Every structure is written in structure tokens, then in C-alpha cells.
Amino acid sequence: MDRRNFIKLTAVTGGAVTLAGCGNPEHELIRFVPDEDLTPGLAEIKNGVCPQCSAGCGTTVRVMQGDVDTVRGGQAGVVTMSLAKKLEGNPTHPVNQGTLCPRGQAAIQIAYHPDRITQPLKRRGARGTNDFQPITWDAAIAELVGQLDMLASSKAQPALACWTRPGSSARRDLTALFLARFGAPPPTTFELFSDDVLRRANEMSFGRAQLPTFDLAASRYVISFGADFLGTWNSPVAHTAAYGRMRQGRPGIRGAFVQAEPRMSLTGASADEWVAVRPGTEGVLALGLAHVIMREKLRPADAAGRAGALVDGWARGLADYTPQAVEQKTSVKAARVERLARELADQRPSVAIIGGAALAQANGLFQALAVNALNALLGSVGTPGGLSFTPQAGAASGTGKTLRAAAADILAGDKPPVQVLLVDRVNPVYATPPGWRVKEALLKVPFVVSFASFVDDTSVLADLILPDHAFLESWTDARPESGATMALATVAGPAMKPLYQTRATPDVLLDVAKKLAAPIKPELPWTSFDQMLQATIGEEAWAVATKQGWVELKGAQGQRAEGKGQREREIAREPVFDGDAAAYPFHFLPYASQAFLDGSLAHLPWLQEMPDPISTAMWSVWVEINPQTAGRLGIGDGDVVEIASAHGSVRAPALVSPGIAPDVLAMPAGQGHETFTRYASGRGSNPVKVLGPSVEQETGALAWAATRVKITRIGEADGGLIRFGASLTEAEHTHR
């Protein structure tokens, strides 16, 4: 016996006695007869559509034979089938070009999640108690059809509502079509970190109500105002690929990059220069740069055209935005404003980007218009190295009321205007500020149907859950809004058969439409979602789409139209913060987590385990605080602190970080779910619950960066902050 085996044997003898009783674990399994004829060990590569955000990246899916736990006819067992094993970027896809972000990589865990809903559920106990009973699909569909028939028979079709997520896809078109033909209002879309403000600004400045695509690969100078475009914003994988080429892809030219934001994001950490601008004054900084460029005649003032005309005082050379005035408002030194302006104008093609917290202010629209005007002045719109708009095919589906308005309407009268509510892939109970009272509104709706794959903070309140397939088990599609230079659709068929008794939501809607007592008219001409996809894409393109996982869409709108160049009404120029500056001395900045985005991915253990790239924290949430501020308040790293606004409070460990302005406290979104699978339930706290209800007036988008807070030290570090490399105790490793 060699040394290694000796050590092993000594280790084993203790445990062996207890373990020997386990026998061979394979022996007890119940096996179901496989449906497919398979060759073990041979991999097949199929296409997929990443479901994690609205960027619409294409993936490849490695599919191989394997054993999987499943439930058949109420019996748990194992079946041998083709299984998706690994996701990577689709090498031919124009947006992600063969790469995929960690959130996309982790999407495979959606299919195999141990807490997936495996069959339709009907509420048994009180709402919110998570007491559901399994029912058959026939009974579940009959239930929904019965509710809709009741609406139809009392001519109350407009009392059907749908809350879903934004993003252009055939799936959303189908939902909108179903609602319209039933006689219901268009769906309400909701997203915590919404970009509606920028879409509106782009419509006003450039005539295109969509997110821009940046040709970073050809840029020489980039300034970004709060946009985490390499991490979580817009189309991060496309940006990252282009950014790499900008920095290292051209011999002799390394593009420069400046990031202006009050808290250092992942993107800010990659910048040559980080500018800590005061929250809500990013637009002022942009106009200060424009002022210097025009004053020095580095660019002709009329180059800004209609985008410039939207900004008051543009014609007079922005006389109010001298570097000194800008310094006073933004806290960025006048000399630095001068230098940045010269660099921007000298090192063209240059481009300015705005996103994230800079838009989530009461004056978000003003800030976006200011940056748009700066881009126009630089001659960076529709030119190489600047910004452009991905052509879009077909009209976007109409959008209904904002979620805030929808909730307010439900709460207003005695009889709620919504009798039946369909909730698809959104979790607004988690992701809205308490002042919107979304949970109360939901509880007031008599019948709530959810298509969720997991019981989360919202679906736990549903009366009926009709679980959707995992994306790998169904036809999926997305039409990217940005990140490419052509109109395209990402399309993929099922990579594997469904593991459980779930059904694709579009197919359920098509089924319901036919089973209504008075079937909807004009009839939806498809029997399944893939038929609809095929019909919308066209026969010739379909062959291409199914082969390569995406297809260029013909008949797309042109690259760029002109904006109107005038505003219909005054827009807010000054930021307005919720909370009195004396009582609440700090700006509160929740931000999209690198792992969970807005929290919709917190149920995936790989993402919980992924260390945050800036703080190295995992499985937890934290409050970022400047070292000076922390020193003044006697707060040490890891100490438990309480963040309170006029609307609520949360507790979390403090993370002392130099990458944040002294008057700002920041917290990642994503944790603090009450109900969201074994991995996320009751873990950490939710920063959204501190936010005030204020919105940007033009668009009704939540101004999530406009709340003021105070901070109180509660006590010593309690181990709540888990950093990569720190030893984990048994308790921290044990998930409920």
C-alpha cells in the first residue's frame, strides 16, 4: 500500500460503516422507457436563443444522451434522453459573434432546476401561502377558458389584462394579437431597469424609438455616462466584442475610454479615466463638453441639427454651461471639462453613451437629449465609429399602460377594472417600489394566471399556474433591438424534449383561443407557435433560420430617420430627489447585478456562486460605501447597516469601496426574494423596497436612481458578506 492509499484508507474506515448501508444507488431507480433512439456518447450541436435578457443573443446547445430525473404520470424516476449539456455563443450570430456572457452560460440551469414547476397548479390555500394542488392540463385550460367565457358573456372583454416583459419577438406579437382579438387592451410591459427614457429621447432626437448600437470597434474615443455597457446594459456581449477590437484590434491605435458615473461599475473599471459625476448631472456635463467644443469651434455648431435644437440655449452656444458652471453642478473640475471636450473633438470618430442610472432620474429625458445632441455635434450619428440603429422589421407590438398606472387603476375603484390577469415572465411584486402597491393590486384582481416556471414573489399570488416549457424545450425567438447592423430574428427549435408536464405558453394561448365558447375572431390561423414563426419569417428564410439559428429579416426600416427637432412640452432639467437632503443625506443607487440583472436570475445557483467582478462577493448582497464616509460614521467592512428612505428600509453588510462618491450609497439588485426557489428565497435584501415611487414624467419609467437615504450602523459583521476565497462555514453552504 502506498502512502496515498494509506491516507485514503484511514479516512475511509470511520465513514465506511455508516456509508456501507447505502448500497448501490443506481439500483433503486425507476427507469422509464426512452422515447428516442439514441447513440450514447455522440454530441449534436443545436441552436438556441438566450432567454436571460432582451439582447437576443444566439447560442449553440451541445446535446448528448444522458439520464435525467423526471416525473411521468405522477411517478418520479429516471429516463434516458437527449439532453442539453452546454451553452456557448453561436459563432455565426451577428450580435454575440460566438461568445456568451456568464448569465447566458448559466441559463442551462433553468431546465434542470430542482424547483421547477412540473405541472399545472391550482391555488388551494390563501393567496401567497404557496399552497397549490397539481391539476391536469385539461382541467387547467378549462379553468382559464371558463374565466374568459364569463368575461365574454358579460361583454367585459376589456377586463382581461396581461403583464409581460418588453422586447420584440413573435411570442410577444402572439400575446398582443390574442389580447386584441379577444377585445382586451394591449399588454403592459415592465422591466425594473427600463430604457424607455432613452428610446423616447432617440425618437425625439433621431426619429428612432429604440436603443442605439455602437460601432465601438471603429471608435477612437468613447465617453459613457453611467452606462454599464460591458456588463449589464443594452447588448453587453456585442459591446464587449467591439470594445476588445477598439482597444487592441488595430495596430498602433488604442481607443480611449472615459466613464462618468458616481459608482464604479464593471465598465467603469475598464476605463482609462473614471469621472465621479454627481447623480442627475450627467446631462450638464455632456452640455459642458458641447459648450467647449462650440466655443473653440472644434466642430460646427449646426452639425447638431435637430438633436441640438431640442436643447434650450443650443443656438446661443449653451452659454449657461461654461466649464465653471458645470463644475459647480457636477463637481467635475472646469479644467477637466475643457480637456475632455478637446479630446472628444480631436480624437474622432468619438461617441458618447448614456444609460443606466443617468436615465433613471426625474430629468432622465433631458440628460439623454443632451448626450444625443453631443453625439450629433461630434458627427457620430450613423457614421463609422459612432452610433446607429439596428433596422427593425415590421411594426413593434403596441404597448399598453405602464405598470404603475395599471396598478393604480386596479386599486382606485370598488370593482377592479381587471377581472382576469395573465402574468408572463415578469416578477413585478419583487421589482417595483412599495409606493406602487403592486402586490395589493394583484390581490384585488379576482383571477390571476401565471405562466411561470418557478414559484416567485408574483406567481405565488396566482390562482392558476400554467408552467411554460424551459427555453431549451420549446420554440423560441427574439428580434434584437440593437447590437447588429441588420434586422434579424434569432430563432431556435427545441433542443430537447420537455422534462416535465409543461406546455409552451404561446401554444397554450392558441389552444385557449380555439376552446372559448365564442372563439376569438378573426381566428388565429395557427395550431402551434412554430407555425406562426414560420409564417412570419417566410418559407425561404425559415430554412436558413432553422439551420443557422438566426436569419436576416427583409423589408426592414432604414437606418435612420430625422427627429422632429421640437418638443411638445417642457421637460424637467433639474434632477428631483425623493427625500429631504437634511434627513436623508445620501443618494441611493441600486444597480443591475452582474449575476442577476434585475433579480430575475437569482434562482440559478451558478450565478449565486459567481463572484461579483468588483467586490468578489457571492451568495449575498451588500451596501457600497466610500472609505471616508465609512470612517466618519464608524462603519467597518462587513458591518451590518440599515439603509432607510421615506418609503422603507433594508439591512445588509457594508462593503467599503473606494470606487464610489462620498455622498452615494449603492446596492446591487437581485437578492431579497421572499419566494424564489431554494437558492434565492429569503437570501439578502431587496434594494427596490427602499425606492420612492417617482417616475420620469414623459415616459412613466421608474426613476430608480432618484431616492435619498440615510445609513445607520446596526452592528458587527455577522458573516452575511461572503467573499470569494473566504472560508465558508457549513451553515453558509447549506441551502434551505
730, burial (CB in 10 Å: exposed 0-12, middle 13-18, buried 19+): exposed
- Confirm or reject binding of residue 498 to other proteins (CB under 8 A): no
| Binding test (CB under 8 A) with other proteins, winner from 1, 3, 14, 41 | 41
Q: How far is CA 126 from CA 130, 131, 403, 464, 661, in A?
A: 8, 7, 25, 13, 46
Q: Rule CB under 8 A: is residue 29 a binding residue for other proteins?
A: yes
Question: Could you tell me the smallest distance in angstroms from the CB atom of residue 237 to other proteins?
Answer: 29
- Among the listed ranges 25-33, 249-257, 262-270, 596-604, the one in contact with other proteins (CB under 8 A) is 25-33
CB of 576 to other proteins, least distance (A): 59
Q: What is the closest distance, in whole angstroms, from the C-beta atom of residue 612 to other proteins in the complex?
A: 31
Q: Which amino acid is at 417?
A: P
Give the number of residues in contact with other proteins, rule: CB under 8 A: 28
Nearer to other proteins, 80 or 92 (CB): 80
Q: Under the criterion CB under 8 A, does residue 23 sit at the interface with other proteins?
A: yes
Work out the end-to-end distance of the chain between its first and last CA atoms, rounded to an integer number of angstroms.
Answer: 42
Stretch that binds other proteins, among 39-47, 148-156, 268-276, 472-480 (CB under 8 A): 39-47
Question: Within positions 616 to 675, which residues make up the interface with other proteins, using CB under 8 A?
Answer: none
Which listed residue (6, 8, 319, 715) binds other proteins by CB under 8 A?
A: 8
Residue 199 to residue 166: CA distance in whole angstroms: 13
Burial of residue 331 (CB within 10 Å: 0-12, 13-18, 19+) is middle
Q: Decide whether 75 or 566 has the Cβ nearer to other proteins.
A: 75
294 three-class SS: helix
Least Å from the CB of residue 727 to other proteins = 24
CB of 117 to other proteins, least distance (A): 23
Least distance to other proteins, CB of residue 46, Å = 17
Work out whether 14 is an interface residue with other proteins (CB under 8 A).
no
Min dist CB 598 to other proteins, Å, is 37
Beta strands in 193-312 (DSSP E): 213-214, 221-225, 256-260, 273-275
| Candidates 24-32, 145-153, 282-290, 572-580; binding stretch for other proteins (CB under 8 A) | 24-32
Using CB under 8 A, pick the residue from 2, 3, 14, 22 that binds other proteins: 22
Spell out where 345-485 has E strands.
350-354, 387-388, 420-423, 447-450, 464-465, 476-478
Minimum distance, C-beta of residue 77 to other proteins, in the bound complex (Å):
8
Residue ranges of alpha helices (H) inside 487-561 are: 505-515, 529-537, 539-548
Q: Per rule CB under 8 A, is residue 31 in the interface with other proteins?
A: yes
Residue with cell 365558447: 517
**Touching other proteins, residues 342-371 (CB under 8 A):** none
Q: Which of 30, 518, 535, 561 binds other proteins (CB under 8 A)?
A: 30
Query: Is 45 among the residues that bind other proteins (CB under 8 A)?
Result: no
Any contact of residue 39 with other proteins (CB under 8 A)? yes
How crowded is the C-beta side of 654, counted as CA atoms within 13 Å? Answer: 29
Cα 326 → chain centroid: 33
Closer residue to other proteins, CB minimum distance, 33 or 582:
33
| Closest to other proteins by CB, 45 or 315 | 45
Applying CB under 8 A, does 27 fall inside the site for other proteins? yes
Biggest CA-to-CA distance, the chain: 89
DSSP string, 579-638: S-TTTS-EEEEEE-BTTTBTTTTTT-HHHHHSPPTTT-B-SS--EEE-HHHHHHHTPPTT
Binding status of residue 5 toward other proteins by CB under 8 A: yes
Q: Cβ of residue 28: shortest distance to other proteins, in angstroms?
A: 9
Residue 2 as a binder of other proteins (CB under 8 A): the answer is no
Give the residue with the Cβ less far from other proteins, 16 or 561.
16
Q: Please identify which residue in the block is written with the cell numbers 474615443.
A: 221
The residues in 59-98 that bind other proteins, with binding defined as CB under 8 A, are 72, 77, 79-80
All residues at 6 or more sequence positions from 25 whose CB lies less than 8 Å from its CB, including other chains: none
CA 612 to CA 614: how far, in whole Å? 6
In degrees to the nearest 10, what's the CA dihedral of 540, 542, 546, 548? 60
Can you tell me which of 12, 76, 486, 535 binds other proteins, judged by CB under 8 A?
A: 12
Which one among 2, 3, 10, 20 touches other proteins, defined by CB under 8 A? 20
Classified as helix, coil or strand, 317 is coil
Residue 556: strand, helix, or coil: strand
Contacts with other proteins by CB under 8 A lie at 5, 8, 11-12, 15-16, 19-20, 22-24, 26-27, 29-34, 38-42, 72, 77, 79-80
